[in-house]
Amino acid sequence: MSAADKVKPAASPASEDPSAIAGNISYHAQYSPHFSPLAFGPEQAFYATAESVRDHLLQRWNDTYLHFHKTDPKQTYYLSMEYLQGRALTNAIGNLGITGAYADAIKKFGYELEAVAGQERDAALGNGGLGRLASCFLDSMATLNLPSWGYGLRYRYGLFKQRIAKEGQEEIAEDWLDKFSPWEIVRHDIVYPIRFFGHVEIAPDGRRKWAGGEVLSALAYDVPIPGYKTKNAISLRLWDAKATAADFNLFQFNDGQYESAAQLHSRAQQICAVLYPGDATEEGKLLRLKQQYFLCSASLQDIIFRFKERKPDRVSGKWSEFPSKVAVQMNDTHPTLAIPELMRLLMDEEGLGWDEAWDVTNKTVAYTNHTVLPEALEKWSQAVMRKLLPRHMEIIEEIDKRFREMVISTRKDMEGKIESMRVLDNNPEKPVVRMANLCVVAGHTVNGVAELHSNILKEELFADYLSIWPKKFQNKTNGITPRRWLRFCNPELSEIVTKWLKTDQWTSNLDLLTGLRKFADDEKLHAEWAAAKLASKKRLAKHVLDVTGVTIDPNSLFDIQIKRIHEYKRQLMNILGAVYRYKKLKEMSAEERQKVTPRTVMVGGKAFATYTNAKRIVKLVNDVGAVVNNDADVNKYLKVVFIPNYNVSVAEVLIPGSELSQHISTAGMEASGTSNMKFSLNGCVIIGTLDGANVEIREEVGQDNFFLFGAKADQIAGLRKERENGLFKPDPRFEEAKQFIRSGAFGTYDYTPLLDSLEGNTGFGRGDYFLVGYDFPSYIEAQARVDEAYKDKKKWIKMSILNTAGSGKFSSDRTIDQYAKEIWGISACPVP
Ligand code: T68
């Protein structure tokens, strides 16, 4: 039966009226027909519903654009190679305050809102924390009515889909655009030329000009981002690459040379084909650099266009006004090319001199660092850069030269440091451009993402620059949006919070959660809290059964670690802990076992396709699970489950059902972490090291409500030295766990190389560089404290409540408010 048979179609929805909304859904089912008009299954229902919601969004998006145009406020542009948006439907109707109306409207077709929303594919245009942070920031920018937009790339295939096969992780292309995305609006009117390769010439007017090479087009797709309870909707503008008809060689095509006729078209397609193409080959590196430049150039041309559009009379001679109207934030070093591109546009296209262009650029761009891992600090080959972007390479060389001269002439004391501070590393073996150094030299502000991380930037990574520019460095502790990460993903707990606080204003003023503290011992609240947790645990258990076939017990302690698989995040320590627990359970008598706290250990996350040890870790978790879960002696007390294909919507099921979550990185290595904040907000207790934002979470929720273990950041260097000098004595429990795996208890796969990475002083595996061996005993002891605490149900629920109550600081509304005031200098611009 078609939608029109059930409800009469109507072109426009009246926002609060379910009948009018149903009419509009029916209208979209008929007149935006992507499917046969005869059927109206859950998938059609999703697309028609989404298009109906899009009508609301577009109205707001247009009003906001016009309002910003008229008021001409200073605007922020967030440049990011990644956005992990996840699903949009529930979030959009939640922010617009029309969830109930839509649920009722959908019922008229015989469907439940949840089932329809479940049809949506995740937009996974990102890897992990950095991409999800960008998405949380957009939600907060819109909610705070800030004039700000995001810019990114419209990857055809986002982050791969993970499947677990016998051999371990398999990667499959994630086809989020397979049908289409109902949220994006293609903007055929917004197209910019993007050049690659070519050479630099001197134009007749004496300016330097980049010419030749090949020119592609960047085409804009807008994704409207609604704020919570506001009329404002901002834009996430994603660029796609196109070649034009003029690039199509009809002569060659008619001559049967089909591939060479459409060469540029196929090269255009490569640019936005995938997120993070493999970069082991030279071609791969070139493609990544092309992607980065594509984002920067299109976005800056668009920003300059808008600067001119808003006040056409200011165009000439008023470039000093630019930084009072535009702030550009670079999300890590991936968009660093924004710096030389802005310089080029200002000098070569607009005719500014170096000093003026530099002044404008410096006052416009700022840089957020997300990692101190040396291997993650981007360096581009000077040769590749010169070939692909010859004019930018000239500009970078000039920036490097002027920086050097400045230090030599003003800071004699720093002469010995200049080489390592320079933008260029002219090592004859491998001359490179250091992108982070370029960001520090050219940006007006550099920030870290948690207090500990920002201090490490100031004291170690960027310490030399600090003495030149003491005011350049700031901290902006990360945050998460409370809308997606509590209000919408955990409706049961949200209702309880609203009931006890007697307001739902916490949704946009998260500090109000502290009001829960005074009820932390209230037995009625305890009963409601426990019931909500149990409901979420049951939903989680169903997900686990659906995707893995493993039955888990909702009365066991749900212990979760979900994040990208990386050695510094130490999923290996977690699984060694589980192996140790299993071995001890095996050694116990049936009587002794009955005193044990039953636990379900869940691990989820994707390993980068070429990261061998990370893939071995995935395999190990699966192998341990296969043995433990089928061991009838102990599987009442322990289950180990690998959750496949971890993504935003899986997180939305897992986090509400969690009771303990692991954030156990080697201290000093996790810049912040943001899932730790999501867990804590959902009343989950953390076991963790003093790393990243854990430090601040523990301060906020109270040290009694956090299971701490492990070495501190300032001990790490010394411990590694000791290890190198052969002074490390491993704990017998650590040896026992490793030995158990080596014995073949979990199958025939050869884990020797993985386990060897934990051995030795240096050399293979860097002699346990991540100090799993050092931290293991205190980890096991902290886990024993967890077991004891969980036995006291009252105590545990109180800890859970106090975690939620202490999470107010970690709202991305707080983070974005600080960026707005302390870095960008922008203020709210609400649509009246
Ligand atoms: C993360 N970084 C940090 N990088 O690891 C995490 N993509 O501590 C922090 O909370 C988060 O950023 C937000 O600040 C990433 O997620 C990447 O995904 C990455 C790294 C290199 C290249 C591409």
Structure confidence by residue, pLDDT tens digits, 205-218: 889 999 999 999 99
Instruction: Provide the pLDDT for residue 112.
Output: 97
User: 335 CB under 6 A from ligand 1?
Assistant: no
Say if ligand 1 is within 6 A of residue 357 CB.
no
- Domain coordinates in residue numbering, the chain: 6-71+88-121, 73-83+132-157+168-444, 483-817
Cβ of residue 123 lying under 6 Å from some atom of ligand 1 = no
- Residue 108 CA to ligand 1 centre (angstroms): 44
Q: Separation of 338 CA from ligand 1 center, angstroms?
A: 20
The CB of 815 under 6 Å from ligand 1? The reply is: no
Q: Which residues of the chain fall below pLDDT 70?
A: 315-317, 761-766
Q: Is 668 in the pocket of ligand 1 (CB under 6 A)?
A: no
Check residue 765 and give its pLDDT. Answer: 47
Q: Looking at domain 73-83+132-157+168-444, does it have CATH number 3.30.420.40?
A: no
Residue 674: active-site member: yes
Identified catalytic residue from 563, 616, 663, 733: 563
Task: Determine the Cα–Cα distance for residues 92 and 348; give it in Å rounded to an integer.
Answer: 42
Q: Compute the distance from residue 485 Cα to the ligand 1 centre, in Å.
A: 19
What are 536's two structure tokens?
Answer: 């979420």
Q: Report d(CA 451, CA 471) in Å as an integer.
A: 16
Convert 662-731 into a string of H (helix), E (strand) and C (coil). EECCCCCCCCCCCHHHHHHHCCCEEEECCCCCHHHHHHHHCHHHEEECCCCHHHHHHHHHHHHCCCCCCC
301, HSE (Cβ side, Cα atoms, 13 Å): 19
Cβ of residue 297 lying under 6 Å from some atom of ligand 1: no
Catalytic residue among 371, 477, 548, 674: 674
Q: Ligand 1 centre from 480 Cα, in Å? A: 14
Q: Which atom of ligand 1 is nearest to the CA of 133?
A: 13
Q: What is the Å distance from ligand 1's center to 294 Cα?
A: 21
Burial class (CB in 10 A: 0-12, 13-18, 19+), 402: middle
The answer to whether residue 498 is catalytic is: no
pLDDT at residue 766, rounded to an integer: 66
Domain 483-817 has CATH 3.30.365.10: no
* pLDDT for position 92: 98
The protein residue with its alpha carbon nearest to ligand 1, atom 20, reads 376
Secondary structure (DSSP) of 549-573: -----TTSEEEEEES---GGGTHHH
Assess whether the C-beta atom of 57 lies below 6 angstroms from ligand 1. no
Mutate to test the pocket of ligand 1, among 370, 569, 648 (most ligand atoms within 8 A of CB): 370
Closest CA to ligand 1's atom 4: 130
The pick from 130, 371, 452, 666 for probing ligand 1's pocket by mutation, whose C-beta has the most ligand atoms within 8 angstroms, reads 130
CA angle 323, 327, 329 (to 5 degrees): 140
- Tokens found for residue 654: 């897992």
For the question of residue 434 being annotated catalytic, the response is no
Strand partners, 172: 161
Reply yes or no on whether 564 is catalytic.
Answer: yes
Cα 482 to averaged position of ligand 1 atoms, centre (Å)? 20
Smallest CA separation from ligand 1 atom 7, residue: 127
Q: Is 569 a catalytic residue?
A: yes
Cα 641 to averaged position of ligand 1 atoms, centre (Å): 25
376 lines ligand 1 (CB under 6 A): yes
Say if CB 105 and CB 56 are below 8 A apart.
no
Q: Is the CB of 433 under 6 A from ligand 1?
A: no
| Nearest Cα residue to atom 21 of ligand 1 | 376
- Helical segments of 277-428, H only: 282-310, 338-344, 354-364, 382-388, 390-410, 418-421
Which residues lie across from 600 on neighbouring strands? 558, 639
Tell me the CA–centroid distance for residue 662 and ligand 1, in Å: 18
Look up 370 and say whether it is catalytic: yes
pLDDT digits (tens, 9 = 90+) for 660-707: 999 999 999 999 999 999 999 999 999 999 999 999 999 999 999 999
Question: In whole angstroms, what is the distance from residue 358 CA to residue 626 CA?
Answer: 60
Q: Do domains 73-83+132-157+168-444 and 483-817 have the same CATH topology?
A: yes
Residue with tokens 């920018």: 141
| pLDDT at position 38 | 82
CB 670 near ligand 1, within 6 Å: yes
